[in-house]
Amino acid sequence: MNKSEVCVSIRHVSKSFGKHQVLKDINMDIYEGEIFGLLGPSGAGKTTLVKELAGLDEPTEGENHLFHEKMPTLDLIKRIGYMAQSDALYEELSAKENLQFFSELYGLKGQKQAQRINEVMELVQLSGDVTKLVSNYSGGMKRRLSLAIALLHEPELLILDEPTVGIDPVLRKSIWNAFTDLKAQGKTLIVTTHVMDEADKCDRLGLIRDGKLIAVGTPAELKKQTNSSTIEEAFLVFGGVER
């Protein structure tokens, strides 16, 4: 993790939908080459924040900067891999056809395209199902295909919204091993989760509750600051909930 190099800078970001405020004055830096976890219950504002970082939405107030450029900007699309919470897949096409379609959007063609499709499908352990129609995929397989698509163009920054929802524990472990490998290649990963054991695998965490960032730090730091043995306990302390 290279602390000197800030990859993502979030400054005084608030977001409202009508009278409902979803994000409240978020300030945070994420560094190159780290796995940064956004941890919080459903409805805390995690998805809203990562959509802004991916350039799909804008804050009502404040600014998000990626690679020192203000978002949203089309210039950065090829440097970001985004996996949404709901799978954006073409069900009537095979997995391979989905991968070909998305890789062409990123300018991948010919041998390079075929090579990357093989690599990402191997990574998510779907190589044997590449010709299968997506409509015949299970929910967990669709999540894995979505992850493969986000990785196709070898992005520097991966923004993954609940990437392991609906995936069995054994496969979840292998996907987290893949995240660690990507980090070793110098990639930066932002992962939203509400699963506490996943939070422990992150280099640093941002704890979000009711649209507010209530704490940032390594899992060890957050536990030490609250005299807690688990991230779950630490979250409750930072959130002002009695243990």
pLDDT digits (tens, 9 = 90+) for 218-231: 999 999 999 999 99
- CB-based contact 183:189 (threshold 8 Å): yes
Q: What is the mean pLDDT of residues 130-158?
A: 94
- Please give the Cα distance from 114 to 197 (Å, whole number): 35
For residue 167, the model assigns a pLDDT of 83
CATH of the domain at 73: 3.40.50.300
**207 closest CA partner among 54, 66, 39:** 39
Query: Is residue 167 one of the residues assigned to a domain?
Result: yes
Query: Is residue 110 one of the residues assigned to a domain?
Result: no
Query: Is residue 101 one of the residues assigned to a domain?
Result: no
Query: Is residue 162 one of the residues assigned to a domain?
Result: yes
Q: How many domains does the chain have?
A: 1
Query: Is residue 188 one of the residues assigned to a domain?
Result: yes
Query: Is residue 132 one of the residues assigned to a domain?
Result: no
Query: Could you tell me the residue range of the domain that residue 161 belongs to?
Result: 2-91+138-238
Q: What is the tens place of the pLDDT at every residue in 17-28?
A: 999 999 999 999
Average pLDDT over all residues of the chain? 92
Q: What is the mean pLDDT of residues 82-111?
A: 93
Sorted by sequence, the CB contacts under 8 Å of residue 194 that are 6+ apart come out as: 39, 40, 41, 42, 162
Kindly list the distances between the CA atom of residue 66 and the CA atoms of 85, 130, 156, 221, in Å, as whole numbers in the listed order: 21, 33, 11, 26
Residue 1 has pLDDT above 60, yes or no: no
Q: What is the mean pLDDT of residues 121-125?
A: 90
Q: What percent of the chain has pLDDT over 70?
A: 97
Query: Is residue 124 one of the residues assigned to a domain?
Result: no
pTM of the model: 0.92
Query: Is residue 221 one of the residues assigned to a domain?
Result: yes
